[in-house]
Amino acid sequence: MKLDQDRLAQFDREGYLFFPSLFSADEIRVLTDEVPALYAQHRPENVREKTGDAVRTNFAAHLYSAPFARLARHPRMVEPVRQIFGEDLYVHQFKINGKRAFDGDLWQWHQDYGTWRNDDLMPEARAMNVAIFLDEVNEFNGPLMFIPGSHRLGVLEAEHDTSTTSYPLWTIGHDTVRRLVARGGIVAPKGPAGSMILFHGCLVHASTSNLSPWNRVSVYLSLCAVSNHIRRFKRPGYIAHRDFTPLQCLPDDCLLRDYEVPLPWKGGTPADELQGTLRAA
């Protein structure tokens, strides 16, 4: 999948690209059929909501689930980012965000690169998220909200919020968000399951809680240029990966065929990946 010049210019201007229905219903079904078993496991990779037992985020499924291992190597997700950065990529983070009906909590306004820089010592904003909708996303079930063009301002001042939700985040203050919205507005891409969003690591974004009766589960593949790998292993390895091996894409039909993929964590999370360390990369 190659981006044309108009798409590249749009990404530079707005900081994100939206591809409705990029994956077929059959491809998405392979993934959604796998999610309940992943969420039911009592692994450290499952971070649950602050109240109740609903899974907020499942980390690193690509290391122990074959369908998600194939998704992490899918050319529709990987090739556009490789084109933009002009070099090989590795998986910095892989997560399945489970904003469950009625129970899914909000995500505060933030920049992903702000967290990657502050917590992981990632040198530059040469990493970004590619998100796949596993459910339909509508205006009621907590869609992602972006402030277009905010990525062009670089890293913004942020505070480390460790109390609002169950997952600590470097968040953008309300006054800054007001100024950014006055400048660029807010958009919330919505569409059917199988839609994909690619967005810049400095794009300011958030999502509201899900009070609707519809789940909003999405997969996020955070891809980083290999030369830009993290320099600090402060966070557990299942959150911020320490293996900088370049990704090798599978064929485009990889979700529908049984291609062999490595599953190094299928038997459990390695002990040295369970906590942070002061050791530098």
pLDDT of the chain along its 281 residues, tens only? Answer: 899 999 999 999 999 999 999 999 999 999 999 999 999 998 999 887 777 777 888 999 999 999 999 999 999 999 999 999 999 999 999 999 888 888 777 778 999 999 999 999 999 999 999 999 999 999 999 999 999 999 999 888 878 766 565 566 788 999 999 999 999 999 999 999 999 999 999 999 999 888 999 999 999 999 999 999 999 999 999 999 999 999 999 999 999 999 999 999 999 999 999 887 755 54
In a domain, 279, yes or no: no
In a domain, 18, yes or no: yes
Per-residue DSSP letters for 199-219?
A: EETT--EEE--B-SSS-EEEE
Give the residue among 50, 174, 171, 185 at the shortest CA–CA distance from 107.
Answer: 171
CA–CA dist 280, 151 (Å, integer): 28
In a domain, 278, yes or no: no
The one-letter amino acid at 23? F
Domain with 84, as residue range(s), is: 5-273
Give the residue among 114, 103, 139 at the shortest CA–CA distance from 203.
Answer: 114
CA–CA dist 191, 133 (Å, integer): 8
In a domain, 41, yes or no: yes
CA–CA dist 257, 252 (Å, integer): 10
In a domain, 188, yes or no: yes
In a domain, 102, yes or no: yes
For the entire predicted model, the pTM comes to 0.92
CA–CA dist 182, 179 (Å, integer): 5
| Domains of the chain: total | 1
Place of tokens 């990779």: 45
Taking CA atoms, 44 is separated from 8, 199, 265, in Å, by: 38, 27, 12
- The reported pLDDT for the residue numbered 104 is 74
In a domain, 189, yes or no: yes
Burial zone of 75 (CB within 10 Å; 0-12 exposed, 13-18 middle, 19+ buried): middle
In a domain, 22, yes or no: yes
User: What is the domain-level CATH number for residue 234?
Assistant: 2.60.120.620
